Structure 1
Amino acid sequence: MKRLFFFTLFFLITVMQVTAQTDFDKTTIKSIMKQVADWQIANPNKGAEHDDLDWTHAALYMGMLDWAELTEKEDGDDSYYQWLMRIGRRNHFQVGKWMYHADFIAVGQPFIDLYVKYGNKKMIAPVMARANWVVENPAETTLELDYGKLETLDRWSWCDALFMAPPVYAKLYALTKNRKYLDFLNKEYKATYEYLYDKDEHLFYRDRRFFAKREANGKKVFWGRGNGWVLGGLVEILQVLPQDESSRTFYQDLFVTLATRVAGLQSEDGYWHASLLDPASYPSPETSATGFIVYALAYGVNEGLLDKAAFIPVIEKGWKALVDAVEPDGKLGYVQPIGADPRKVTRDMTEVYGVGAFLLSGCQIYKMAGK
């Protein structure tokens, strides 16, 4: 009887895996990604905080890079790479203005990746110069973020920063093998982790202002996109840190723990809403949080870090939700505007970082479909 039970369990798990995988069609995935990418290129956002070198566009470029790699490999189409190169050239591959602020070095991530592809040192010189200065002259400020004291933004004092800056140092270490980048990354990341990570809830507060706040249902305030930012940043770090690097264990363990916790907070509609622990107060879909989370979960399954049987149904449901938010012309809707906390979202709202998250997740889904 016991043998029959385990055989039945094995059979059901196998069926779950096969069923989940067969719902991903490569042609359909590629088609919807092209629609979304092309709509965004044709409809650039030039409003506040949308300079070429801002963090908003850095997230978009990361998604466009993965999409560019896919289309060049599959179709011989380098037009998306050329779009990214035009942006880099017209800005001389510079990074943002503030010396320490994580948001202003985020654009260095795609520029490093372009350097890896094309080998032109002009593409990497500005971000390396900025990183070198920061490493050699580390900020000596508190992690207690206070917008009335701008120097408190000099360190990674808000969880979004863990997507913006840490991957830059991870990529520079992977490229140069100079441990100063890795040492700085490890020190600053772990400081932020110790400060903003709730070890009971296994989630990140956005910043210290939310420690004592509560949602309408009495739960702690954990922002959907904020934790999506952290997961996305962990993926970028794990993709470049060598497997035999001892400090990789910390990031990998954190990734698995956070991914597992967040997966269990998916709403019935397939989305992760603006508030992770009080989705009823923010019932609208939210595609930027969902995009980064699906990206991370799909990466985790593709790399064998997350269990297929447990996570593929979650990923499948999340990807379907993302696709449902795309208009016929390719506009991605339900993207929460720029902010620092859960807020209301409507279908007509879009943002470039939401598109970046969509493309990042789509490329991992495409990879999964290929398996």
Structure 2
Amino acid sequence: MYKLFGTALAVLFSVSVSSQIPFTKVETKNMMRKVADWQIAHPNTGHEHDDVSWTHAVLYAGMADWAELSEKEDGYDFYYRWLLRIGSRNQYQLGSWMYHADFIAVAQVYLDLYNKYGQERMIWHTLARTDWVIGHPAKGNLELDYSRIESLDRWSWCDALFMAPPVYAKLYAMTGDKKYVDFLNREYRATYDFLFDKEEHLFYRDSRYFNKKEANGKKVFWGRGNGWVLGGLSEILQALPAKDKHRRFYEDLFVTLSARVAELQSKDGYWHASLLDPESYPSPETSATGFIVYALAYGINEGLLDKDKFTPVVVKGWQAMLDAVSAEGKLGYVQPIGADPRKVTREMTEVYGVGAFLLAGNQIYKMAQ
């Protein structure tokens, strides 16, 4: 009897410990503030440095979550005022290309700001762009060819599933107009059918990778690309109404992709540039890791993912993220745009990596002691 009780108690204790997160809310919030403040003090002046670029759009998404947390917990509106200044000086405009997903990504934060402040000027350009695109949908297939600029008109690369779909999900939630969710579902499913490998349960970056192989002979699936998809799914699920008939598709895909990616975490806690050949890409990579930690933590918090199974993965990933932050608050090991993914160093940082860190931190805060 005692032996049985002891065994049951041990199992109960192990489950309890496995589902706990060893970070406190105070520690998490302080680290988020440090990273956010460092980035604000060191604005990006390099590649894709204009305010409405996709790189900054990802930063703003993380900053918006952090602004909400900071104001709610500390009554501190500095970060909201920072976002408002950026929106105001750009007249809440979008990027210049009509169809390209990267150029509408910044609308995500404009919609968040509109929901908070209710100023119509914040969404004029977003409504004009999305309504025109819905009324004049891009033609052509999803084969990506950079020599044909029109091949970027649709969501023909997996990163695009973070950039554009959440905008349409948020517009649907805001207006109740089904044209936004109908467009979202049609285009998202087309990309899913084209780029999702049903055997590996991972997304190809684009059609150019269908027949490529890594050094170890396995298929090529990028860590950050699949992180983009998981991050985008997290944003979509936060926007879509709970009773929407299409929600089940996104939830099922989120759970499937989360389970597969969780299996591929490296021993150091990071997800490296290549998911199936991390040995060829030994450098830590915090943008992929940040998006994946964000998504898995969100899934746990929303009851979509098993707490006992996924919490150790999240804890290990978040600790890896913390290890990449300097004493001053600079997030390192962020793979640059278009650079060799094998050569990522502690000194390399990019604004989208910081955005992923803040998105993840917000969900870690909800889990923390």
Give the structure-2-normalised TM-score: 0.97
Aligned-pair CA distance for 1:8: 4.0
Aligned-pair CA distance for 1:343: 3.9
Aligned-pair CA distance for 1:142: 1.6
Distance 1:47 1:286, change over 3 A: same
**What corresponds to 2:173 in structure 1?**
174
**What corresponds to 1:91 in structure 2?**
90
CA contact under 8 A between 1:331 and 1:350: conserved in structure 2? yes
Aligned-pair CA distance for 1:19: 5.2
Distance 1:38 1:10, change over 3 A: same
Secondary structure at the counterpart of residue 21 of structure 1: coil
Secondary structure at the counterpart of residue 316 of structure 1: helix
CA contact under 8 A between 1:238 and 1:251: conserved in structure 2? yes
Distance 1:7 1:228, change over 3 A: farther
1:230-269 equivalence runs, <5 A = 230-269=229-268
Secondary structure at the counterpart of residue 132 of structure 1: helix
Secondary structure at the counterpart of residue 265 of structure 2: coil
**What corresponds to 2:280 in structure 1?**
281
CA contact under 8 A between 1:20 and 1:316: conserved in structure 2? no
Secondary structure at the counterpart of residue 156 of structure 2: coil
**What corresponds to 1:184 in structure 2?**
183
CA contact under 8 A between 2:114 and 2:122: conserved in structure 1? yes
CA contact under 8 A between 1:17 and 1:312: conserved in structure 2? no
CA contact under 8 A between 1:224 and 1:342: conserved in structure 2? no
1:35-50 equivalence runs, <5 A = 35-50=34-49
Residue 274 of structure 1 aligns to which amino acid in structure 2? A
Question: Matched residue pairs, number?
Answer: 369
Distance 1:243 1:31 in 2: 33
Distance 1:39 1:7 in 2: 50
1:121-200 equivalence runs, <5 A = 121-200=120-199
CA contact under 8 A between 1:219 and 1:278: conserved in structure 2? yes
**What corresponds to 1:53 in structure 2?**
52
- Segments of structure 1 that go 5 or more residues without pairing to the other structure are none
Residue 325 of structure 1 aligns to which amino acid in structure 2? A
Distance 1:64 1:138, change over 3 A: same
**What corresponds to 2:325 in structure 1?**
326
CA contact under 8 A between 2:21 and 2:311: conserved in structure 1? no
Distance 2:117 2:252 in 1: 33
Q: Does 1:112 align with 2:104?
A: no
Aligned-pair CA distance for 1:124: 1.0
Q: Does 1:221 align with 2:202?
A: no
Aligned-pair CA distance for 1:17: 3.4
CA contact under 8 A between 2:18 and 2:312: conserved in structure 1? no
CA contact under 8 A between 1:71 and 1:78: conserved in structure 2? yes
Secondary structure at the counterpart of residue 266 of structure 1: coil
Q: Larger deviation: 15-24 or 133-142?
A: 15-24
Can you list the C-alpha shifts for 1:331-350, whole angstroms capped at 9, x where unaligned? 00000001398442111100
Distance 2:187 2:296 in 1: 25
CA contact under 8 A between 1:335 and 1:345: conserved in structure 2? yes
Can you list the C-alpha shifts for 1:164-184, whole angstroms capped at 9, x where unaligned? 000000000000000000000
Residue 274 of structure 2 aligns to which amino acid in structure 1? S
Can you list the C-alpha shifts for 1:258-291, whole angstroms capped at 9, x where unaligned? 0000000000000000000000001110000000
Distance 2:145 2:5 in 1: 56
- Alignment root-mean-square deviation, CA: 1.8
Residue 35 of structure 2 aligns to which amino acid in structure 1? V
Distance 1:123 1:282, change over 3 A: same
Aligned-pair CA distance for 1:9: 6.1
Distance 2:168 2:343 in 1: 34
Distance 1:246 1:348 in 2: 46
Distance 1:193 1:9 in 2: 44
**What corresponds to 1:78 in structure 2?**
77
- Segments of structure 2 that go 5 or more residues without pairing to the other structure are none
Can you list the C-alpha shifts for 1:40-93, whole angstroms capped at 9, x where unaligned? 000000222121000000000000000000010000000000000000000000
Aligned-pair CA distance for 1:239: 0.2
CA contact under 8 A between 2:283 and 2:343: conserved in structure 1? yes
Residue 87 of structure 1 aligns to which amino acid in structure 2? I
Residue 101 of structure 1 aligns to which amino acid in structure 2? H
Distance 2:280 2:252 in 1: 31
Distance 1:308 1:6, change over 3 A: farther
